[in-house]
Amino acid sequence: MDAPEARIKQKAFELGFQSCGISRAQRHDLAGQRLQQWLDEGMNGPMNYMAANVEKRIDPRLLTPATQSIISVSMNYFTQERQTDPRSPTVAKYAYGDDYHLIIRERLYALLQFIQTEIAPCEGRAFTDSAPIMEKVWAANAGLGWLGKNTCLISHRYGSFFFIGELFVSLSLRPDEPVKARCGACRRCIDACPTGALVAPYILDARRCIACQTIELRDAPDATLLPRFGNRIFGCDRCQNVCPWNSRAVPHNEPALRPNRRMLALLPDEWHNMTEETFADIFRYSAIRRMGFNRMKLLLKELGNHAEL
């Protein structure tokens, strides 16, 4: 019979995950030091939640004490489909389909049920961007990729257009080996960032990041940065689009993440004249609903002062 780790990974693939790896649940002081320095310099910007539960981020056992192993998974969201009109307010690829949080969490719990019934009884909890966890750190520890200069997790096989989730389990599983970083001397992401948010290799100043400005802020975005937004209204893929490793990205075939054709087809006037009812209908299952109708209208107004939408 195959080792439990191999059976877990095979089940993860059957559930639609792109990759799966295992790391040992333990304190990560180096990542903790980097996180604290980033916070001390205020680079988390409006993301005040990043400064909460720092010790739990550093040591996952403080979040779920029984945890011995962390099973990290990725799910491909890359697509070659594009918004119909390049003049329309643009949306990051991750928000083309339905909100990934529920999709990944449900499948992680299906993986947990498999482990509990087919491997060994255990405690477990599933997460995806839903708790104070350094997800990219643990995914890198599990060999899913390396932390790139754009601070994204990059896989030499898949690029970086993928979601991350993790399953904390009370089983002692054999950990995988981290992979070697392969960014080399490349700095395309740093040079391409529209607002200079990548202030140095591996360091993102979220206060300048278009994704943070359009998704995390509740008020108007920074007026000094707006002229560099272009027509971006929800997120920014620039640092990923220019990454050479994403030339290897293959479009996903996951029905649950199929792009929202109504959103892709929206013309500039349809964005500007959209009613609250239409917003709720089109973005009912989308991460864009997090923005809210009033916030969308505010951004459209602000962007309209600096871009031809």
Question: Helical H runs in 59-208?
Answer: 100-114, 135-141, 188-192
Euclidean distance between CA atoms 29 and 49, whole angstroms: 20
User: Facing residues of 234 across strands?
Assistant: 91
72 falls in which pLDDT band (50, 70, 90)? very high
Q: Give the residue-averaged pLDDT of 134-143.
A: 98
What's the pLDDT score for residue 58?
A: 97
Is 97 in contact with 77 (CB distance < 8 Å)? yes
The three-state secondary structure class of 30 is: helix
What's the pLDDT score for residue 111?
A: 98
What's the pLDDT score for residue 306?
A: 62
User: Facing residues of 154 across strands?
Assistant: 146
Is 78 in contact with 162 (CB distance < 8 Å)? yes
Euclidean distance between CA atoms 189 and 193, whole angstroms: 6
% of the chain beyond a pLDDT of 70? 98
Q: Give the residue-averaged pLDDT of 54-72.
A: 97
Q: Give the residue-averaged pLDDT of 123-129.
A: 97
What's the pLDDT score for residue 185?
A: 98
Q: Give the residue-averaged pLDDT of 73-81.
A: 97
Q: Give the residue-averaged pLDDT of 188-198.
A: 98
- The token pair at 79 is 């697509």
Q: Give the residue-averaged pLDDT of 118-137.
A: 96
What's the pLDDT score for residue 157?
A: 96
Q: Give the residue-averaged pLDDT of 222-245.
A: 96
Q: What domain count does the chain have?
A: 1
Euclidean distance between CA atoms 225 and 44, whole angstroms: 17
Bigger pLDDT: 309 or 239? 239
What's the pLDDT score for residue 304?
A: 80
What's the pLDDT score for residue 209?
A: 98
Active-site annotation holder among 29, 129, 269, 281:
129
What's the pLDDT score for residue 249?
A: 95
- Prediction pTM value: 0.95
Residue type, 134: M
Euclidean distance between CA atoms 296 and 260, whole angstroms: 18
Euclidean distance between CA atoms 275 and 264, whole angstroms: 17
Q: Is it the case that residue 307 has pLDDT exceeding 60?
A: no
What's the pLDDT score for residue 309?
A: 40
Active site annotation includes 129: yes
Residue type, 6: A
Euclidean distance between CA atoms 275 and 269, whole angstroms: 12
What's the pLDDT score for residue 286?
A: 95
Q: Give the residue-averaged pLDDT of 253-258.
A: 94
The mean of the pLDDT values for the chain is: 96
SS (H, E, C) 52-90: CCHHHHHCHHHCCCCCCEEEEEEEECCCCCCCCCCCCCE
What's the pLDDT score for residue 305?
A: 65
User: Facing residues of 282 across strands?
Assistant: none
- Host domain of residue 195: 1-309
Query: H or E element: which one contains 264?
Result: helix 261-265
